[in-house]
Amino acid sequence: MKNLLTILAGIIIISCNNTNKSSSEGFQYERVKEDTTSVQASNSVSNKVVINSNDQMKFDKKIIRVNSNEEVTLTLNHTGRFPVSSMGHNFVLLKKDVDVNSYALNAAGARNNDYIPEGGNEIAYTKMLGGGESDTITFDAPEPGTYIFICSFPGHYQLMMGEFIVI
């Protein structure tokens, strides 16, 4: 006969059934992409135009209104700090009916010409600027209508695009 050693183990089961547990599931913070640039919804008409651009790849104007049959003086400021090589900005006013997507594609390949492609599809354009720089251009306002302006630095035009309305 074997001696049987019986060990009795006392098992204490602690029930931790907290039914009052508040549910934290389903509560998610959604990262809202904030537009930190205040876009001016300008209704004013002036042939003296100042437009700012920044390190967030934004123009501060989506709409520019000018009078026809008058000269336009336009100043582009780059208010950021990044150099022209990584965050260059220009202002390019496209002729009517120029396809902006194909223009931007061509522009991206025109690095040696400040991203202004051949073809003469611009009404006017500024220099390509780095942070802290400015350029002012003067040109005759085109015929009344709505024109597109962009920055032609590679990858910028989709964020840096607006309407140039000639009244």
What's the rounded Cα separation, in Å, for the pair 128 and 78? 10
Query: Least distance to Cu ion from the beta carbon of 96, Å?
Result: 22
Contacts of Cu ion in 67-106 (CB under 5 A): 89
Reference 136, options 51, 78, 84, 76; nearest CA is 76
Q: How far is the C-alpha of 108 from the C-alpha of 127, rounded, in Å? A: 15
The verdict on 150 binding Cu ion (CB under 5 A) reads no
Q: Determine the interface stretch with Cu ion among 44-52, 68-76, 117-125, 144-152 (rule: CB under 5 A).
A: 144-152
Please name the residue that has the structure tokens 């590679």.
154
The tally of CA atoms less than 13 A away on the side-chain side of residue 140 is 3
Out of 153, 162, 164, 166, the only residue in the binding site for Cu ion (CB under 5 A) is: 153
Q: Is the Cα dihedral 137, 143, 103, 41 positive or negative? A: positive
165: amino acid identity, one letter: I
Smallest gap from Cβ 153 to Cu ion, in A, equals: 4
59: contact with Cu ion by CB under 5 A: no
Nearer to Cu ion, 65 or 89 (CB): 89
156 belongs to the binding site for Cu ion (CB under 5 A): yes
72, 117 in Cβ contact below 8 A? no
Q: Binding segment for Cu ion among 19-27, 121-129, 135-143, 155-163 (CB under 5 A)?
A: 155-163
Binding site for Cu ion (CB under 5 A): 89, 151, 153, 156
